[in-house]
Amino acid sequence: MMLVWGSATERQTIGELPAFTCRTCKTHATHQIIHVYGWGHLWYLGAIGSKKFYSVCKTCQTTDEITAEAGEKFGKAKYPFNQQYGWALWVVLIIGLIISSMVASGNRQDRVASYLSAPKVGDLYVADVAQLMKTQDKFHYAVLKVKSLRPDGIEFDPSVYFYEYGIDAAKAKVKADHPGFFSDESVVLSKKALQDMREKDLITDIERRE
Ligand SMILES: [Zn+2]
């Protein structure tokens, strides 16, 4: 996805200052208030940055910077919603993403805990097996299929393949029915070992195929 961001300077006439005598042409008249402001944005959702106000003589165009206080007292700046409050949508979006990822993570942990407490033959585990295999290899995620339930633990068929990331192993589960996906050599993990893996969050997910 292309990152669309940028900044711009906008200029608008926002009102008039009460009459005073121009320092250049000596005309005594009201002066226009010009407001110049910068805004920055990410996908056009932005925030207002610098704000400046100027008085402009209507006769000779002499321009002087005035205080924001004076500019805001006699003028009324209007900013497009996305320029002024766009950032708030980012905040809402980011908070939403954080909450939904927390919910997803909570759901996943609940699922792992519940399937682990009542395992069924055929359950597919995605697990970080580096500790089990005592390996430093960067490909240390595997898919484990429950082969049989033992009084003291679970017998698994481990996948022949190992993955660098849990997400890759999770995707690979679709190949679980392909011949040769699982090794012929099963492994037995004790309840204690499985509990230990769960506490360390090494069991990334469990899928139950009904
Ligand atoms: Zn003037």
pLDDT tens track for 169-187: 999 999 999 999 999 999 9
> Are 121 and 76 contained in the same domain?
no
> Are 145 and 75 contained in the same domain?
no
Q: Is the pLDDT of residue 1 over 70?
A: no
**Cα 208 vs. chain centroid, distance in angstroms?**
29
Write out pLDDT tens, residues 6-55.
999 999 999 999 999 999 999 999 999 999 999 999 998 999 999 999 99
> Are 122 and 200 contained in the same domain?
yes
> Are 85 and 155 contained in the same domain?
no
Q: State the residue range of the domain holding 127.
A: 105-207
Number of structural domains in the chain: 2
> Are 65 and 135 contained in the same domain?
no
Q: Distance from the CA of 62 to the center of ligand 1, in angstroms?
A: 5
Q: Distance from the CA of 78 to the center of ligand 1, in angstroms?
A: 26
> Are 117 and 163 contained in the same domain?
yes
Amino acid of residue 99: I
CB atoms within 10 A of CB 162: 20
Q: Distance from the CA of 12 to the center of ligand 1, in angstroms?
A: 20
| CB proximity list for 178: less than 8 A, separation 6 or greater | none
> Are 67 and 12 contained in the same domain?
yes
Q: Distance from the CA of 138 to the center of ligand 1, in angstroms?
A: 74
Give 39's strand partners. 8, 48
Q: Is residue 98, in this structure, part of any structural domain at all?
A: no
| CB proximity list for 199: less than 8 A, separation 6 or greater | none
How far apart CA 45 and CA 34 sit, in angstroms, is 24
> Are 83 and 140 contained in the same domain?
no
Task: Give the chain's mean pLDDT.
Answer: 94
Contact 124, 154 (CB under 8 A): no
